[in-house]
Structure 1
Amino acid sequence: MAKGHTYVQWIVAIVLETTVMSYGLTAGWISPMKLVLQSEESPVGRPVTDMEMTWVASILPLAAVTGVLLFVYVADRYGRKSGVLVMAISQACCWTIKLSTANVPCLIIARIFAGIPAGGCLQLMPIYVKEISQDNIRGMLVSMIILMQNIGVFTMYAIGAYCNYASVLYFGLTISLISIAALIKVPESPSFLVKMEKYEEAEKTLALLRGLDVNDKIIQDELSYLKNNDTQAKDLPDVTIFTIFKNKSSRSGLFVILMIISVQATNGSYGIFTYASSVISAAGVTLNPHLQTLSIPIVMIVGSFVSISCVERIGRKVILASAFALSTLGLIGLGCALTMQHLGQPLSNWIPAVSIVITVGCYAAGILPMPYVIMAEMFSFNIRAKVSGCICCYAWFVTFLQLLVFIPISSLVGMHNTMFCFSAINLLGVLVALVVVPETKGKSVEQIEEMLELR
């Protein structure tokens, strides 16, 4: 647009994504609290066992599978805004349960309350942000979701290293309550308002977001476009997974996203930053332990900024392929460092440290955000929520399996061999990105569907 402004879209996106920051706090909670919970001074009253700790950590992505299904229903029936409010309230419940008592069953229940909204962070949030954004900043605002997540992880690592158990929980609860209060003021998605035939409200919302008068031609054209899409969607039969498979472009798009997500969810980075302290210790890094752990979310934040700044310049496909390639090299380096440590011949500290930095940086810059940016752009409004729901369910379940087996497999075959396996998966990701993934930068849904029809 040559006129108007975009700052309202940025403000709304940031407010919405405070829930993703809260998810980052809960996702990063395990790393600093694992040492506390397994110490003699554990708030549980005894040291938590490795198996109990594994379930406390891995139950979050398993609960997220249920969360995805919940938010698909809520977003389509009651609106995107209602879904995000439910996410924030559930996150507040997580911190409240942890504050009320400290025992393993309650910790698991609290993590379930954290996992349910986590399912919406990468399913509902990209859709909502995409629907309030204009095309030229769409990729940046969707990519910012991962930045907010990483800010949450960094904050948790920082306060977890220097604050006591209760203070950390009070901080998390405060962020959730602030998020709930701010979300009350955000507007509903114009696409959903049109779907509900609230045309006047949709018109006013578009004008507010774009910084234009309601009678401006740009607003009227965009409203007409949304109405046409809605009319076409309502003329179609009810969308099921079977109707999605009948359409060639939708079917091709679904297979493309499934392939990307399969590699992303098993590439090892989520396990590395969840069990950061254990991985760093196994690598034999002897630098300041707090700096070691904090370096991971710092690099992830930097990676998120790189993603936001480059996504509209370079394109999704190039960023994704480059991230997988560099992550492959990082994991090979980490595997070599762990192998030497296993053989009693440790390498210099900088080799495993740099390898970890490269791996988690690439995860934040491309491997995590790009599939969701592509997914938000690839499908039409009438199937977007259902497709993203199916994909996110699958992604969270695979992530749960990765966390569940990470420690047992590492104990069985060695941490070094585990990293080599992850490097092979990332190499596969390079091939998928280069050969299978279409470039969606700057293209409309119709143009993307035409590309998928040719596959």
Structure 2
Amino acid sequence: MVELTKQANPGGLGPTRVLLHRPPALTSPFMLPTTGESEQAATGERGRARAALLPQRVFKKPWPCEAAFIVNILVFVYGASIGWMSPMTLLLQSDKSPVGRPLSDAEISWIASIAYLTCVPADFLIAYLSDKIGRKNSLFLLSLTSVCCWAIKLCSYEVWAFVLARALMGIVMGGAYVTCPLYTKDISEDSVRGLLGSLVILFHTTGNLFSYIIGDLLSFRIVLWICLTIAIFHLILCIIIPESPSFLIKQGKEDKAVKILAWLRCRRETDSLVQREIEIIKKEQKTDENSSNFALKAILKDKILFRAFKIAIIVALAREVCGAIPVLNFAGDIFATASKGTNFVLTPNQQAMMLGLIQVTGSMLGSSVVEKAGRKALLAVTALISGISMCALASWFVAKSYGVDAASWLPLATLCICIFCDSSGLQPVSVIITSEIFSYKYRGTVMGTAMAAAAVCAFIQMFFFKNLATSIGLHVSFYFFGAVCMFAALYTILVIPETKLRSLEEVHQDLRTKKEKREEKALKEVSV
């Protein structure tokens, strides 16, 4: 891009001269910017004048978007692994199973659920590693683990190989939902923090839908090769993404952090915006130095941090117990029960593709409106609508049990609404809020703890939902999910602060009680 600047000649003699200014170009989009071509190539008075006139924003396109997309490919790979179970379960339990025999329900259950068990310790392990060796190195290890997962499936078709591969994918699941939001938060400007933070759900749901489609169209082995290729592609890209500026400052590498932040913001290292962000990071980490080295101990001792911690745990649990997980995993049984006596029946693959498409549509909508609507409003509205839909579905089952002629389309509509609300609000906003209400020191620990609690809830639901639904009825389960969603909506309105375009200090100020605010104000007046 060339900029034109008019400059009159001294004394007003002669025509006006036009100077051409060309911002410095990068030989590669992942190379750090230099201090400017004018300082290296231009000499003399004219060169100094041209350097002074160069624009502050030296690149047209901000690179955090590209970095966030690269990072979240890992979530896409994980989503593809989760979605792989839907079409492949039918194949593995058929006479054409690549194992050589149909797998039993117990074997399929182990393959499906083992990831949620290994996810729990992985959440804490990856949270610890991301603070010790950095976000980038942690992402590289997770990407390498995902490559191993698909490679194991290709090397052996034995049941133990599938279980081992899914166990490794549980590590990727826990790590991706911890490290990817943390990295995205560290590199993002406030104006796009919510948009980029919501990519984790968009890539997850897109990965699900991708597996639903290729699993239905392609052979078992070709699907594995495609997924392995994507995992290897992400592993290569992990080498070229920059480390988080926050981690570099924590390591005492401020000069390198400034260069990376300048590249991410498309500005010069001396730009006031870059310097201001560096000072904010340093101030945030300096404040954390006064607290305990053990993050959870410091959180439990500090009133404000503990309130923020409760918010993170509650929104994570609400996200998992909104009803979306049993709906996605037992959609076939639910649709079959709901469609008895009607002609409205979908095949298992049609159900999976339809729900996957709804998930992707919801996550795309959430990504586009999260910066406009705000975190609080989007979470409250989606939780409320999901609660109403779950209660409506429960009432439909009650009506059917009493022989009332209820609309046959209602179960499908309410389940679709539940999935849509989950992917557009409950899932992405809960992750974004958790990353925005804690400083660098606590983000990893809190994200890992919240994800571990969510994984335990997911495992319990998958393990007990079918038996409970059979013994006490589907309507009781859906009334419970509806009540959880209603509570989440009310809690969001009354307790959770808005984090959109706000600093950590401003968010924590909202977490103080009126009494604490008055006492703080009185202390300031006395000190003055």
**TM-score, normalised by the number of residues in structure 2:** 0.81
Name the counterpart of 1:173.
Answer: 228
Deviation at residue 335 of structure 1 after TM alignment = 3.4
Instruction: Give the match for residue 388 of structure 2.
Output: 329
1:355 is displaced (CA, Å) by: 1.5
- Amino acid of the structure 2 residue aligned with 1:38: Q
Asked whether 1:444 is paired with 2:525, we answer: no
1:410 corresponds to 2:465: no
- Within 5 Å, which residues of 2 pair with 1:149-228? 149-228=204-283
Post-superposition offset of 1:342: 6.9
Aligned residue in 1 for 2:452: 393
Q: What is aligned with 1:125?
A: 180
- Partner residue in 2 for 1:256: 311
1:350 aligns with 2:405: no
Contact kept? 2:394, 2:475, Cα under 8 Å: yes
Counterpart selection for 1:366 from 415, 419, 425: 425
Partner of 1:311: helix, strand, or coil?
helix
Alpha-carbon deviations, 1:211-257, whole Å to 9, x = none? 11112121122222222333333344413322211111101111122
- State how many pairs are aligned: 455
1:236-255 → structure 2 map (5 Å cutoff): 236-255=291-310
In 1, the alpha carbon distance for the partners of 2:484 and 2:292 equals 39
Work out whether 1:280 is the aligned partner of 2:332.
Answer: no
Secondary structure of the residue that 2:213 maps to in structure 1?
Answer: helix
Distance in structure 1 (CA, Å) of the matches to 2:165 and 2:135: 24
Higher relative contact order (Cα pairs below 8 Å, separated by 6+ residues): 1
Task: Report deviation, 1:6.
Answer: 5.2
Aligned equivalent of 1:453: 512
1-structure distance, mates of 2:226, 2:402: 43
For 1:398 and 1:289, the matched residues in 2 are separated by 25
Match of 2:453, as an amino acid? Answer: Y
- Cα distance in 2 for residues equivalent to 1:55 and 1:289: 20
Tell me how far apart the structure 1 counterparts of residues 286 and 333 of structure 2 sit (CA, whole Å). Answer: 54
CA distance in 2, matches of 1:81, 1:392: 20
Where does structure 1 lack aligned partners over 5 or more consecutive residues? none
Distance 1:95 1:346, change over 3 A: farther
Q: CA RMSD in A?
A: 2.2
Q: Are 2:324 and 1:269 aligned?
A: yes
Q: Select 2:361's aligned residue among 302, 313, 320.
A: 302
Please tell me the residue identity of whatever aligns with 2:232: L
Q: Secondary structure at the match of 2:479?
A: helix
Shifted more, 381-390 versus 206-215: the winner is 381-390
The alpha-carbon deviation at position 376 of structure 1 amounts to 0.6
Q: 1:41 aligns with which of 79, 90, 96?
A: 96
2:485 aligned to 413, 417, 426, which one? 426
Distance 2:494 2:334 in 1: 33
For residues 148-202 of structure 1, give each alpha carbon's deviation from its aligned partner in whole angstroms, at most 9, with x where no partner exists: 1111011011112222222222221111111111111111101011111111211
Q: Is the 8 A contact 2:291 2:298 kept in 1?
A: no
Any idea what SS the aligned residue of 2:240 has?
A: coil
Offset of residue 15 of structure 1: 0.2
Q: Write the deviation string for residues 95-137 of structure 1: whole angstroms up to 9, x where unpaired.
A: 1112222233322211110000110222111111000000000
Q: Secondary structure at the match of 2:372?
A: coil
Secondary structure of the structure 2 residue equivalent to 1:197: coil
Q: TM-score, normalised by structure 1?
A: 0.94
Do the aligned partners of 2:57 and 2:266 also contact (CA within 8 Å) in 1?
A: no
Q: Is 2:295–2:441's contact at 8 Å kept on the other side of the alignment?
A: no
The equivalent of 1:71 in structure 2 is 126
Range with greater deviation from structure 2 (423-432 or 126-135): 423-432
Say which SS state the counterpart of residue 123 (structure 1) adopts. Answer: helix
Q: Deviations over 1:314-344 (max 9, x none)?
A: 1111111111111123223433555677788
Once structures 1 and 2 are overlaid, which stretch shifts more, 411-420 or 248-257?
Answer: 411-420
* 2:30 paired with 1:30: no
> Aligned to 1:15, which of 70, 75, 86?
70
CA distance in 1, matches of 2:428, 2:336: 28
Give 1:80 shift. 0.1
Q: Which structure is larger by alpha-carbon Rg, 1 or 2?
A: 2
Residue 308 of structure 1 deviates from its aligned partner by: 1.3
**Bigger shift: residues 241-250 or 359-368:** 241-250
Match of 1:60 among 110, 115, 120: 115
Structure 1 pair 101–334 and aligned structure 2 pair: CA distance change class (3 A): farther
CA contact (8 A) 1:20 1:121 kept: yes
More helix by share: 1
Structure 2 SS opposite 1:48 = coil
1:230 correspondence with 2:277 = no
- 1:423 and 1:90 map into 2 onto residues whose CA distance is 37
Determine whether 1:375 maps to 2:375.
no
| Cα distance, 1:281 vs structure 2 | 3.2
The answer to whether the Cα contact below 8 Å between 1:249 and 1:449 also exists between their aligned partners in 2 is yes
| d(CA) in 1 for partners of 2:293, 2:259 | 29
CA contact (8 A) 2:124 2:445 kept: no
In structure 2, the CA distance between the partners of 1:409 and 1:43, relative to structure 1 (3 Å rule), is farther
Displacement of 1:82: 0.7
Distance 1:110 1:408, change over 3 A: farther
Shift of 1:368: 0.8
When structure 1 is superposed on structure 2, of 420-429 and 139-148 the one drifting more is 420-429
Separation in structure 2 between the aligned mates of residue 403 and residue 344 of structure 1, nearest angstrom = 30
CA distance in structure 1 between the aligned counterparts of 2:474 and 2:96, rounded to whole angstroms: 28
Deviation, structure 1 residue 291: 3.4
- Compared CA separation, residues 419 and 167, structure 1 to 2 (3 A): farther
Q: Is the contact made by 1:147 and 1:304 (CA closer than 8 Å) also made in structure 2?
A: yes
Match of 2:149 among 77, 94, 113: 94
1:185/1:282 Cα in 2 relative to 1: closer, same or farther (>3 Å)? farther
| Shift in alpha-carbon separation, 1:69–1:226, aligned structure 2, 3 A | same
Output the amino acid matched with 1:310.
V
Letter aligned with residue 222 of structure 2: S
CA gap of 1:154–1:208, structure 2 versus 1, over 3 A, is: same
Helix, strand or coil: the match of 2:383?
helix
* Alpha-carbon distance in structure 2 between the residues aligned to 1:166 and 1:275: 26
The question of whether the paired residues in 2 share the 8 Å contact of 1:96 and 1:173 is answered with yes
CA distance in 1, matches of 2:239, 2:58: 28
